[in-house]
């Protein structure tokens, strides 16, 4: 278990908050609004990987205690102007846990600009993208919460900077089931959450037309090699343009992922064997849907099931986890 991370009743979560614990809390907005102020950050989502397996729960909240091993953590909100200071504000030894509300200004700004933030990749940055129940899309906005003030926002991101003592360090890993397929290389002229014109094996084309003409399985993401790490960009919708859950970037070569024969078997094979130090984990809502994770477990990796994962930059269709080693 991740530091006793689990689904809790509001009363149980309230007790931990009252004791002064530093927490990451995920839950339906109505549930989160019933929690007291305290040393916690959070975001809206009613999907979880719990001890009993993948679960939808609007009444309880998923609480991840964050151990205080050195100086006290710092909790703060960011807007689009201050977000580029995120890594500079991180502890020299420690990590930052970031929660960003989906579809808001910080989501777009972080997704497109984070790779260029000052000190990015030099300090561990992990986190997740808040969402809503799929039935509430278009009716409610994803939000983050700064527990110290009780403020809810769909315009800001929220972060907790957690220092670590000398001799301990934070490590971020991802589980990605997808590899580039054998289809054409796709490149795009500009960064963005949607694309129309592209190059298909070097030839000008229209991405939406290409997907329709090839009857592509749009549950499969685009995959690119980012300095040795395979990074997914998931497809949200195909119309005149193709909409994504994360941005594509110019100068990067993408291919549609190869099909995964059995999602659940692939997940079980890819899960790490952890002896300890597991501090935080989150998984993607698309894995939950496409892998049929409701009622099924992903080993010890418990946490919110999210609208995006953060391991330095925004990711899709991955499982992200953080361990404290040393």
Q: Taking the domains of the chain in order of start, what are their residue ranges?
A: 6-174+264-325, 186-256
Separation of alpha carbons 117 and 85, rounded Å: 7
As given in the structure block, the two tokens for residue 304 are 């919110």
Query: Considering the entire predicted model, what is its pTM?
Result: 0.92
| pLDDT tens digits along 49-105 | 999 999 999 999 999 999 999 999 999 999 999 999 999 999 999 999 999 999 999
Mean pLDDT across the chain, nearest whole number?
A: 93
| pLDDT tens digits along 207-248 | 999 999 999 999 999 999 877 788 999 999 999 999 998 899
Handedness of CA 29, 79, 160, 168 (dihedral sign): positive
User: Residue 275 pLDDT more than 90?
Assistant: no
pLDDT given for residue 225 in this prediction: 87
pLDDT given for residue 3 in this prediction: 67
Strands 192-195 and 169-175: unpaired
pLDDT given for residue 292 in this prediction: 85
Rg, the chain, Cα only: 19
H-run or E-run covering 313: strand 313-315
pLDDT given for residue 2 in this prediction: 63
User: Residue 149 pLDDT more than 90?
Assistant: yes
Residue by residue, DSSP assigns 127-164 as EEEE---GGGBTTB---EEETTTTEEESS-EEEEEEE-
11 — pLDDT class (breaks 50, 70, 90): very high
């Amino acid at each position: 278990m991740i530091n006793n991370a689990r689904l809790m009743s509001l009363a149980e979560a309230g007790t931990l908050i009252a004791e002064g614990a530093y927490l990451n809390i995920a839950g339906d907005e109505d549930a989160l609004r019933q929690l007291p102020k305290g040393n916690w950050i959070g975001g809206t989502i009613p999907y979880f990987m719990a001890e009993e397996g993948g679960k939808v729960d609007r009444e309880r909240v998923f609480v991840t205690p964050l151990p205080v091993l050195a100086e006290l953590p710092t909790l703060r909100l960011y807007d689009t102007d201050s977000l580029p200071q995120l890594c500079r504000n991180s502890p020299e030894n420690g990590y930052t846990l970031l929660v960003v509300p989906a579809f808001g200004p910080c989501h777009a700004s972080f997704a497109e600009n984070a790779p260029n933030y000052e000190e990015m990749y030099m300090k561990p940055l992990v986190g997740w993208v808040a969402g809503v129940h799929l039935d509430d899309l278009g009716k409610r906005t994803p939000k983050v919460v700064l527990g110290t003030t009780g403020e809810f926002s769909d315009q800001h991101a929220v972060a907790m900077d957690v220092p670590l003592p000398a001799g301990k360090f934070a490590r971020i890993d991802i589980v990605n089931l997808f590899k580039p397929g054998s289809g054409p290389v796709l490149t795009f002229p500009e960064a963005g959450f949607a694309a129309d014109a592209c190059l298909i094996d070097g030839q000008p084309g229209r991405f939406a037309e290409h997907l329709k003409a090839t009857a592509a399985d749009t549950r499969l993401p685009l995959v690119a090699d980012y300095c040795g790490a395979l990074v997914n960009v998931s497809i949200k919708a195909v119309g005149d343009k193709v909409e994504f859950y994360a941005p594509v970037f110019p100068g990067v070569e993408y291919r549609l992922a190869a099909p995964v024969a059995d999602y659940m078997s692939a997940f079980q094979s890819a899960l790490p064997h952890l002896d300890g130090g597991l501090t935080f984990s989150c998984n993607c809502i698309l894995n939950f849907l496409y892998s049929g994770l409701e009622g099924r477990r992903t080993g010890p990796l418990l946490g919110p099931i999210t609208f995006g994962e953060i391991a330095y930059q925004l990711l899709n269709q991955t499982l992200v986890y953080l361990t404290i080693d040393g």
